[in-house]
Structure 1
Amino acid sequence: MDREKIALAMPAIRQEFETLKQALGEGRMPSATSALFGGCLSWGDELRSIYARDDRQALSERDPLTRFFVTRFRGQEGDADIVSASGGTCFLLAFSAFPYLDALMTEMSVGDHMGFDEDGNWLVSKIIAGTMDGSRLKVDKGHQGWRFDLMSVYQTKAQAMDTFINERFCGDFDAFLWRYVADHDLAFDMDRAWRPLVEKGGI
C-alpha cells in the first residue's frame, strides 16, 4: 500500500480508536465488541473455558488479570452468566475487571503506521501518556469501519497487575484478592471463587 493511502487512512483509524475508548468508558459493550477482531476474540473464547474449568492450580499458572477476572466473577454474589457470553463480551469483561488499570487504555492513543503482520493486518504504534511503549496494535478494515485487536493491551495490563501485586503484596495473589474484596465491601464466597463450575454441574 502506498504512503498516500496510509496517510489518508490514519486519521480515521485514530478517530475510531477514540470511539472505541469512549464506548468502553461508557459501558456500551455491544458497540465496543463490534470494534474488535483477531486474537482478543479468540482469547475471549478461551476465557469462557478457563472460567468454567480452571481450578486453583490451573488458575495459579494464568496471568494475574485472567486469574482476577475468574475469581472475582465466580466469587461475587449472584451468578454471572460468563459461559454463555460471546467471546468479545467475555474478553471485555476480563479486560476491564480491574478498573485501576483502565488508564492504560484511556491514556492510550494510536501513533504511526508501522507496517503489516503476516496476515496483512495493519500494525500501528501505541502511545501511552505521550510515550511510545514499543509494542504494536493490530488493526483491520472491517465492513463497518476499522477494528482493533486489544490483545497486546490486555498483556500490558496483565504485566502491570503482576508488578502491582509483587510490589504491594509480595506476590501473594490471595492477599491481594482479600484486600480487594474488603476495600469494596463485596458479598463474596472465596471458596466458590476458586472452584470450577464443572464441579457444580455448571456446564
Structure 2
Amino acid sequence: MRKVTAEERELFLAALSGRLPVRTVRAAIKAVAKKAAEQAPSKAKPTIVNGKRQASDDEVLLFLEAIGLRPRPAIIPAAPKAPPPKPHPKLAAKPTGLDGATKKKLEKGEIAPAAKLDLHGMTEAAAHGTLITFLTAAHRRGDRLVLIVTGKGEAGRGVLKQMVPRWLDEAPMAKLIADKRWAHKRHGGEGALYVYLRKPARG
C-alpha cells in the first residue's frame, strides 16, 4: 500500500481546516472534469515532477469526494423482487363418490357439464347466494356434472377462486356434492371447478 506524501497530507489538512482556497478547488474540479470528458481515466504510471510524485486524476477525484467537494455517485436501490405467484387453493382431500371410469373421464375433460354458472364480477355475498341457488336447482333436476367458473384472478389469487372451494365444503352445499375438482383446460382449467352432484333422493 502506498504511503501518503507530506504534500498530500498538508493538502488534506488544509482543506479540512478551511485554508484551501475555493478557487483552487474549483479549478481542480474543472480541470479534472474537462480531462475526463476528453479521454478515459489513464492507467499509466504516476507522473514524477521535480522528483516528487503527482496525484493522478482518480486520486484527485477520490480526495474531493472525501472532503465533500465532489458528490458521491447516486446508488440506485435494486427493485424489490416480486413475490412468487400464490399456488391455487388445494381442494380438500375427501372420499370421492365417483367410480374409476367417471374419474378418468373427468380428468380428461370427456364429460360435458350439464349446466354452467359464471361468477365473474360478483361480490362475495352475491356469489355465495347465487352458488347455493344454482347447485340446489341443479341437484333437484338430476344434473350430475356442473361447471362453476370462478376466474383465475391476478396471478392466480382471485377472491372467488379462493372462496368457492371452501363454500362447497360447507352446509348446505356439501351434502349435495359427490366430488369437486379443478376443470380440464378445455372447460376453463384452474379458473373453473367441476362439481359432481349426488343423485337426488327418491321421495
Same fold (TM over 0.5): no
Which has the higher relative contact order, 1 or 2, with Cα contacts under 8 A spaced 6 or more apart? 1
Higher helix share: 1
Q: TM-score, normalised by structure 2?
A: 0.22
Higher Rg of the two aligned structures = 2
